[in-house]
Amino acid sequence: MKERQKMNVEKYVLEIQTTLKQLNYYGRKINYRQMQELHQTYGGLLLEKEFALYVLEIGINSYNGLKSGKYKTAILQKQLAKLMEEEAQKIKEKMLLEGYAGHLIDYLELQKLHQIYAKQIPEETFAKDILGIIKGSYYQLKAGRRKVYILRNLQKESEEEIENIREKLRIDGYVGKKIDYLELQNLHIAYGKEFSESRFAQIVLEIQESSYLSAKNHNTNMIVLQRLVGKTSEDEIEEIKQTLKEKGYVGKTIDYIELQNLHQTYGRQMLEREFAQTILELTYSYYNTIRNNSKKRAIILKSMILPKISKEEVNKIREQIKAQGYENTIIDYERITKTTSRVWKSNVRKRICCRNFRNKKCELSSNEKRK
């Protein structure tokens, strides 16, 4: 009989607690007057002290202090702990999937998140136990004095994942690029939606927090992936140059529009200026000249016009020329092209004679200094 009565009481207490849970009383701080109102509404046949101790889970000392009117006390703490244990991980996992890990929020955003995900628990408890905001930061956030990052302990991304995303961005031409907030949002969706936007900006794109906030609030521009500027490997540079050579660009004269097209086609992972100087072999002044004057043109890939040859090869070519009777002889371009030496034909414009033989004549002299 006593066991049945005990079971009935426990069931009755649980029913009241479930009702109070639905009314968001778990963990709420109340004063004595509020406790009396709850007792009158939900206590039924229970004495006030019994209601406080068994339903509201208030300790005897806290009950006495509450009754004296000296302070408030939190109620249903054990039920809150159970709820947190059961629901906290579910809430965290859901927020993680929706991209809130590492998200930077203000107090208004905290209030919205609280209402969406856990309005059944007090806001401060939600901030501390779900979002991982320490007490001091919570009060500063509430006072409007700062923003805070949330769910940092759930950030599971590895350095390898981050580097993979950066590599994709590098290949797609975003290294050192200026972007606005709208483009940042597009990049976030395209490359890193598993991150929060703020974390994607700062950790992946390497944008400082102040620059990110300025862009978000005032639509200023940001430079992304600055650390990767100038990081193109020697092998990549050589590969691009060889591709351009095969496409017939060695020694070609181009204007700025053609330079832009080449950059987009062959070197988007580099800054345009870096591409012009490192790949196309334009000096900084030449690059600026054609960029600022649409009528100006420049010769690209000069070092590949004539391949490097050794001093021994140069001397060998000279001896061949002498043997064919060309020393101290006036010749024109047609006579040069009839020279039987294949090496001579391929190298004459670079090392032996003047650089442009067409419509010109030049004198080969054994005393002439040749570079």
Please check whether residue 369 lies inside any domain of the structure.
no
Q: How many independent structural domains does the chain possess?
A: 5
pLDDT at 365 (0 to 100): 38
Please check whether residue 368 lies inside any domain of the structure.
no
pLDDT at 185 (0 to 100): 92
Indicate if 96 and 137 belong to the same structural domain: yes
pLDDT at 254 (0 to 100): 94
Indicate if 238 and 299 belong to the same structural domain: yes
Q: Taking all residues of the chain, what is their mean pLDDT, rounded to a whole number?
A: 78
Please check whether residue 39 lies inside any domain of the structure.
yes
Indicate if 296 and 317 belong to the same structural domain: no
pLDDT at 180 (0 to 100): 92
State the alpha helices, DSSP H only, in 43-191.
Answer: 48-50, 60-67, 77-97, 107-117, 123-125, 135-142, 159-171, 181-191
Please check whether residue 82 lies inside any domain of the structure.
no
Indicate if 57 and 6 belong to the same structural domain: yes
pLDDT at 27 (0 to 100): 76
Between residues 6 and 242, the one the model is more confident about: 242
In angstroms, the CA 50 to CA 57 distance is: 9
Please check whether residue 350 lies inside any domain of the structure.
yes
The residue from 276, 304, 332 where one domain ends is 304
pLDDT at 269 (0 to 100): 65
Q: How confident is the model at residue 335 (pLDDT cuts 50, 70, 90)?
A: low
At 111-159, the pLDDT tens digits run 999 998 888 778 888 898 888 899 889 999 999 888 888 887 666 555 6
At 34-51, the pLDDT tens digits run 888 889 898 888 888 888
Number of H helices, E strands in the chain: 19, 10
Domain with 13 in it: 2-75
pLDDT at 308 (0 to 100): 63
Please check whether residue 371 lies inside any domain of the structure.
no
In angstroms, the CA 215 to CA 222 distance is: 7
At 239-255, the pLDDT tens digits run 899 999 999 999 999 99
Cβ neighbours for 134, distance < 8 A, ≥ 6 positions apart: 128
Please check whether residue 190 lies inside any domain of the structure.
yes
The residue from 54, 75, 96 where one domain ends is 75
At 149-167, the pLDDT tens digits run 888 766 655 566 887 888 8
pLDDT at 229 (0 to 100): 63
